[in-house]
Structure 1
């Protein structure tokens, strides 16, 4: 039993590492729609302070990255982002990440860099920084990442996995979806792995 759990945890960590390694590749492509997932992924709804979400094959379960605020709407300075599963395969259940998922796969590290601004990095891949900050336009908090010299207000990360083995999934690409802040237009940047 313990061996099976360790195997599943290790596979999850490896898949996320491969996913996030793709961020270090600068050869992104805009709006390439080839090789789509055979799954139909739902869009999370009704999450008031959602910053972005992450989806990946082989199932529709989704990881939510949500702004952590108190009753007065103030950001928790020590833990500005909550990370948890929205388990569509389990009656839309909201579930915390396991310790291993939080510490080695889907979790994030945050560091306050200025008043109400944080640098964010995935625990499984720390090379590409993202930034949590309040927008001057709408006064809401958003996460920003730069890909292909484009500053993107991030709304979604998608990892396309097609086959491979349990230990080494075949990651085809990573897509970052959001708004190009320079043009205020929707953008999808695809990074082939």
Structure 2
């Protein structure tokens, strides 16, 4: 049943079709402001948020061993920061990073269960960003929101909203789909 989480992660870093409503953080949940944050994921289940943050040294270089860290910000537990479980990391939200050939300080970020879906993590003007295509446009990814139906440990994915900012126009680009 982990495939329901996979659907969100594949959509997040792939090219999507359709239209979306709302804006990042428009669902009433706290919006994380983590150091070197490049993306965040929220779900209708509760305000606990998955944060994707660049792992950089003092000189602004991405760690070659672990250029991106993925963890929970548990807003339901006083905002506690918590690592993903082994299963969450390996089967749902974790990533693999591969250096970009011929480009220093940049990595292709691949979702473990979807090796054909990827984004690029790079540092631009001293700031990390996660880049991908969204609705055919090159964007800096911002966030995703997963609308869930049902209760328990494996609720049904009803809809996914994804946001990014266009490189060309600076405008917010959103997309939505139902798995």
- Bucket of the pairwise TM-score, normalised by the shorter protein: 0.7 to 0.9
Does structure 1 residue 40 correspond to structure 2 residue 28? yes
User: What is the distance in 2 between the residues matched to 1:182 and 1:130?
Assistant: 17
- The 1:27–1:14 alpha-carbon spacing in structure 2 relative to 1, beyond 3 Å, is closer
CA 1:25 to 1:184, structure 2 compared with 1: closer, same or farther past 3 Å? closer
SS of the aligned residue for 1:102 comes to: helix
Q: Deviations over 1:79-127 (max 9, x none)?
A: 1001111000111000111112111111101100131111111123333
- TM-score, normalization by structure 2: 0.84
Q: What secondary structure does 1:89 align onto?
A: helix
- 1:179 is aligned to 2:165: yes
TM-score (norm 1): 0.79
Which residue number in structure 2 is paired with residue 151 of structure 1?
A: 138
Residue 16 (structure 1) aligned to one of 5, 22, 35 = 5
What secondary structure does 1:66 align onto?
strand
Where 2:93 maps in the other structure, the secondary structure is coil
Contact between 2:16 and 2:175, CA under 8 Å: does it hold in 1?
no
1:133 aligns with 2:122: yes
Deviation at 1:31, TM superposition (A): 3.2
1-structure distance, mates of 2:123, 2:61: 12
SS at the partner of 2:9?
Answer: helix
Question: Cα offset for 1:53?
Answer: 0.6
| Distance in 2 separating the partners of 1:139 and 1:191 | 33
CA distance in 2, matches of 1:79, 1:111: 10
Instruction: Quickly say closer, same or farther: Cα 1:81–1:186, change in 2 above 3 A.
Output: same
CA 1:164–1:49 in structure 2 vs 1: closer, same or farther (change >3 Å)? same
Bigger helix fraction:
1
Counterpart of 1:163? 150
User: Which structure has the larger Rg?
Assistant: 1
Q: CA RMSD in A?
A: 2.3
Aligned residues: 173
Q: Which runs of 4+ in 1 moved over 4 A?
A: 21-27, 164-167
Following the alignment from structure 1 to structure 2, what is the Cα–Cα distance between the partners of residues 115 and 91? 38
Correspondence for 2:17 among 15, 20, 28: 28
Per the alignment, do residues 173 and 40 of structure 1 end up closer, same or farther by CA in structure 2, a change over 3 Å counting?
same
Residue by residue over 1:17-74, the C-alpha shift from the partner in whole angstroms, topping out at 9 and shown as x without a partner, is 23235469865223335xxxxx6321113x2211111111311110111110123332
